Structure 1
Amino acid sequence: MKLCSSLVLFALLTLLAACADRPGPDALRATAVSAPGARTVTVYVATTRQRAEGQDDLFTASRADQVSYARFTISVPPGHKAGEIEWPGRTPDPGKDFVTVERRLLDRAAFEQEVSRRRGGRPPSVGVFVHGYNTNFTEAVFRMAQMSADAGVDGVPILFAWPSEGSVTGYVADKDAVTYSRDQLTELLTMLARRRTTGPITLVGHSMGGWLTAETVRQLRLTGQDAVVRRLHVILAAPDIDVDVFRSQLAVIGPLDPPMVILVSPDDSALGLSEFLSADRRRTGRLDVNDPAIQEATRAAGIQVVDISGLETSDSFRHNRFVALAARYPQFATMEQSGAGASLRQTGAFVLNTVGTAVSSPFVLAGKVIGSE
């Protein structure tokens, strides 16, 4: 029965992926201007993808020998709904759609200078997003723009774009591609840590990008780059990581300050597919925070595991719930600063309170504490 249901799930995902109208590189052509009331977001990109022939500021699913850098300015429409991307059609409408108003290829020196440029007389804060499996370049750029716009943070959003095939059937190739990109993400984080930025470098890895993120932090620790690790606030959203592999990664990484945050959803169908493709090996992004063994393990490892299953999502696979958290960031930050929530250094297992207030827990994101210290 389990095999049968897994095969049905696989067939369904393949069918839907084939039928989906996915955005291509044309959506990143800088042919539009902002509409009245629209917001613009500047997204910086570091990528191991190969440049498109004849279009050096666009990138393919092929693997490059060296990292490329770019800057995209995206206009977010006045009627934007938090957590969503209003995709442009053949004729982009800045009043209704996300549109690209500028794109530019950068060399490494220009990239370093721009991401560390003082803003309002102060060093900038930095956030790095590592996208997941089955994601093309356009989707990754627009997702970074959406999260940055929803969070409303005066910081520098940086997308690390690894060469995903952008296909549901490219799972094995994508696993090789994230492995290929470990050194380059390590190099990016090392670069950012030595620049004059403020606060922790927020590092968010989604899905298979979560494996790349955890593996990169592990590599930093193994090579003695503890000063870089100390600058990081690591968040893994629906991480596509074998539970035993994750345990071994944590053994090397050790406790972080603030603690590593794991956002999980036991009903994540995309990770269910990953488990099927991995001989039913349990994925970290589907951990059950009600399991006493998980509660004990989170305390021992000094991490936060937060069940976000209560968040609404338009994603039928329930794999992208984390994007809705960006819009709640200002509320969470206010609660943390006012003392309404517990310290971000609190560890344990939690269930997200979807109304954004602490009900039975002092933890800023949690409505119910399952196990904490």
Structure 2
Amino acid sequence: MLNSFRQIMCIFAFGLVLSSCASRPEGVLIPVPVNEPSVSKVDLLVATTRLPTYDPRTLFSGERGSLIVTDIGISIPPDKNRTVGQVQWPKKLPANPLKDFTTYRVAGLEQKAGEKKWLDDHVSANGNVMIFVHGFNNTFEDSVYRFAQIVHDSQAKVAPIIFTWPSRASIFDYNYDKDSTTYSRDALEEVIRTAAAHPKVKDITIMAHSMGTWLTMESLRQIAIRDGRIMPKVKDVILASPDLDVDVFSQQWLVMQKKPPKMTIFVSQDDRALKVSRRIAGNIDRLGQINPGEEPYRSALEATGITVIDLTKLKVGDRLNHGKFAESPEVVQLIGKRLVAGQTITDSDIGLGERIGAVALGVGQGVGSAASVAVSAPIAIFDPTTRRTYNQQIDRFGQAVGGTFESATGQ
């Protein structure tokens, strides 16, 4: 088994090497003046539980520290000089703003007071805020530059906040990274609460990728336990390629059953990173790999009203197929123009042909026998052992029952 695990990790490592960018110079976070009128600028509020390095080239390491907030500005080259969906790292320093992503400002902020002041200055009249939580195997600069790309390419009209947790950015530190997400739950909760308490903020969208979805769901679960519900300003939660055990997700969702936020999940059955994660985690389905059109998941989704967008047929440059949501121009713009705006997505209005499928069935829309059974026997369905023998259709899929919905899907 040990040899098998090593083989899996070696294959995974090889895939990551193939999909990664060429080596880049250290020090991309050192700010340089950017006066080119043709570039776009993205101002980010960066909240992190990483340990400071006190080195301006890196700012923060992958080790664990206390919550710190920073204001970072990133410039994006003109669209004619770049590929939408890609982060263009400089090949040498100083970066060329006309061709490279470039850091033009780094300013430390006082915790809470600094976040509030940043929101004062950056929340527009629409009151929209997006909080992004990155995934496994990310350096500090990886996460910051990727979110700047998402904000720019999605054209989302939001005040962007990124929460970056302590990742050692090594595929061999999977367990350390997972524990780091657990370590960071209270800090992310604090960031969400501070944003929700701000008078200019009207709507909060939380988007998380990969292992960051575990952190996000755990923080929201904590809020629901403390307050009895998720605060109303948290309108949308987007889980992209969620590295989440489906049984665990069902329990997290159950706690949020009193007026939960709208949930959208991006999945892809060809996600190679999640295949490795599934093997590591005892061969339990990962949420990011489910087929929403097949049982037991279809019936459960019909009962919850959760939207699942299937990206399996979509082809991008990521050879692991784990970052499709950010690398596809159509998908990243779907996030900014539709999901953040609070619009409903269905398979008839996505407009991307057969490359993307969507399951967006609300309560009462074709709810099948499996969902009906869930209403009468929720406890039996929640127990994994009983569930497997009770009804094959809802194997490995928790059903959350309460009010107007009965189930959870998860990864």
Distance 2:348 2:150 in 1: 19
Residue 357 of structure 1 corresponds to 351
Residue 12 of structure 1 corresponds to 11
Residue 40 of structure 2 corresponds to 39
Residue 31 of structure 2 corresponds to 30
Give the direction of change, closer, same or farther, for the CA distance of 1:126–1:309 in structure 2 (3 Å limit).
same
Distance 1:256 1:298 in 2: 17
**Which residue among 88, 94, 97 is the counterpart of 2:100?**
97
Residues 37-75 of structure 1 deviation map (CA, whole Å, 9 limit, x = unaligned):
1111111100000111344981111100x2101011111
Distance 2:15 2:236 in 1: 35
Residue 301 of structure 1 corresponds to 304
Distance 1:186 1:247 in 2: 20
Distance 1:195 1:141 in 2: 23
Please show how residues 213-224 of structure 1 align to structure 2 within 5 Å.
213-224=216-227
Give the direction of change, closer, same or farther, for the CA distance of 1:289–1:3 in structure 2 (3 Å limit).
farther
TM-score normalised over the length of structure 1: 0.85
Distance 2:162 2:26 in 1: 16
Secondary structure at 1:96's aligned position in 2? coil
Give the direction of change, closer, same or farther, for the CA distance of 1:203–1:87 in structure 2 (3 Å limit).
same
Q: Give, in angstroms, the shift of residue 258 of structure 1.
A: 4.7
Give the direction of change, closer, same or farther, for the CA distance of 1:273–1:371 in structure 2 (3 Å limit).
same
The yes-or-no answer on 1:290 pairing with 2:289 is: no
Secondary structure at 1:292's aligned position in 2? coil
**How many residue pairs get matched?**
354
Please identify the structure whose Cα radius of gyration is greater.
Answer: 2
Distance 1:278 1:59 in 2: 29
Residues 116 and 123 in structure 1, CA contact (< 8 A), matched pair in contact too: no
Distance 1:177 1:32 in 2: 34
The yes-or-no answer on 1:112 pairing with 2:113 is: no
Distance 2:213 2:67 in 1: 20
Q: Identity across aligned pairs (percent)?
A: 31
The yes-or-no answer on 1:163 pairing with 2:166 is: yes
> Can you give the 5+ residue segments of structure 1 that lack an aligned partner in the other structure?
338-342
TM-score normalised over the length of structure 2: 0.78
Amino acid at match of 1:357: G
Identify the structure with the greater strand proportion. 1
> Can you give the 5+ residue segments of structure 2 that lack an aligned partner in the other structure?
366-411
**Which residue among 273, 277, 284 is the counterpart of 1:270?**
273
Residues 27 and 56 in structure 2, CA contact (< 8 A), matched pair in contact too: no
Q: Give, in angstroms, the shift of residue 305 of structure 1.
A: 1.7
Residues 230 and 257 in structure 1, CA contact (< 8 A), matched pair in contact too: no
Residues 57 and 103 in structure 1, CA contact (< 8 A), matched pair in contact too: no
Amino acid at match of 2:46: V
Distance 1:229 1:216 in 2: 15
Q: Give, in angstroms, the shift of residue 95 of structure 1.
A: 1.3
Secondary structure at 2:121's aligned position in 1? coil
Q: Give, in angstroms, the shift of residue 178 of structure 1.
A: 0.2
Residue 82 of structure 2 corresponds to 80
Secondary structure at 2:248's aligned position in 1? helix
Structure 1, 296-305 or 241-250: larger mean CA deviation: 296-305
Q: CA RMSD in A?
A: 3.0
Q: Give, in angstroms, the shift of residue 292 of structure 1.
A: 2.2
Distance 1:255 1:311 in 2: 35
Residues 313-347 of structure 1 deviation map (CA, whole Å, 9 limit, x = unaligned):
2111000011132233465379x89xxxxx53x7x
Q: Give, in angstroms, the shift of residue 13 of structure 1.
A: 2.0
Secondary structure at 1:204's aligned position in 2? strand
Give the direction of change, closer, same or farther, for the CA distance of 1:116–1:23 in structure 2 (3 Å limit).
farther
